[in-house]
């Protein structure tokens, strides 16, 4: 049985839930600000798979890879973002001694920039094209979803181009040289 005193005590206790929510939101904003800005300047944005640009519509179009030059400096492979924006789908080469690895970057329909090793590993083709919302191997015809690289058809579905973690800074897609230098085929 509840007495009057218990009811009065319950009424006098303030509801602090909104304060905790507001405080938590403030903490998240402060942490985000500290991670995003350094001395008032934006820092590099990390994206394990992609970064976001404007959406692109490939419906009814076929886009071939455009060869471009990348630069390797201080342990970083630099791909000019402007080249990817203009061409939509590029291929470049990383050289280390006798080792050569083809790299590709493209803008997915959602606007994500995706960078990967440019190889269909089972058939060893290094060339692809975009057809509608699909990535297509030029040798075997295997097709992958352009957004997710999930296999759709063909014999090499389980081995889409191997995506690379990268960052975006100063108009460049930056890939750690060690990721490519140490890359080994999955099959």
Where do the structural domains in the chain lie, given as residue ranges?
A: 4-38, 46-181
HSE (side-chain half, CA atoms, 13 Å) at 133:
12
pLDDT value of residue 26: 46
The reported pTM is 0.71
pLDDT tens string 117-160: 999 999 999 999 999 999 999 999 999 999 999 999 999 999 99
**pLDDT over 70 for what percent of the chain?**
73
| CATH number attached to the domain at 46-181 | 2.102.10.10
A 10 A CB-CB count for 9 gives 10
- For residues 42 and 180, what is the distance between their CA atoms, to the nearest angstrom? 27
For range 97-106, the mean pLDDT = 94
Q: From CA 65, how far away is CA 44, in angstroms rounded? A: 27
User: Any idea which of 15-19, 25-29, 57-61, 79-83 has the lowest mean pLDDT?
Assistant: 25-29
User: If pLDDT is split at 50, 70 and 90, which confidence band does 28 have?
Assistant: very low
- State residue 39's pLDDT score: 38
- What is the arithmetic mean of pLDDT over 26-38? 40
The CA distance from 95 to 181, in Å, is: 9
- 177: Cβ–Cβ under 8 A, 6 or more apart, which residues? 72, 75, 76, 77, 94, 96
Q: What CA–CA distance (Å, rounded) separates 166 from 112?
A: 12
What's the confidence (pLDDT) of residue 43? Answer: 35
SS3 content of the chain, % helix, strand, coil (to 5): 20, 40, 40
pLDDT at 176 over 90: yes
Across the strands, what pairs with 172? Answer: 80, 169
Region 67-74 average pLDDT: 96
Instruction: Decide which of 115 and 107 is more confident.
Output: 115
């Amino acid at each position: 049985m509840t007495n009057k005193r218990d009811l009065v005590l319950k009424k006098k206790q303030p509801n602090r839930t909104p304060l905790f929510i507001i405080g938590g939101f403030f903490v998240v904003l402060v942490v985000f600000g500290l991670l995003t800005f350094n001395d008032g300047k934006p820092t590099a944005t990390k994206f394990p798979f992609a970064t976001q640009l404007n959406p692109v519509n490939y419906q009814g179009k076929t886009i071939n890879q455009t060869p471009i030059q990348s630069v390797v400096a201080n342990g970083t492979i630099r791909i000019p973002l402007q080249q990817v924006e203009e061409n939509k789908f590029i291929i470049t080469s990383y050289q280390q001694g006798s080792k050569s690895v083809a790299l590709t970057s493209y803008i997915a329909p959602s606007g994500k920039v995706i960078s990967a090793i440019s190889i269909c590993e089972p058939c060893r083709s290094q060339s692809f094209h975009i057809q509608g919302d699909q990535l297509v191997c030029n040798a075997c015809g295997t097709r992958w979803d352009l957004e997710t690289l999930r296999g759709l058809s063909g014999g090499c579905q389980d081995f889409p181009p191997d995506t690379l973690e990268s960052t975006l800074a100063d108009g460049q897609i930056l890939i750690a040289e060690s990721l490519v230098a140490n890359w080994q085929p999955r099959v």
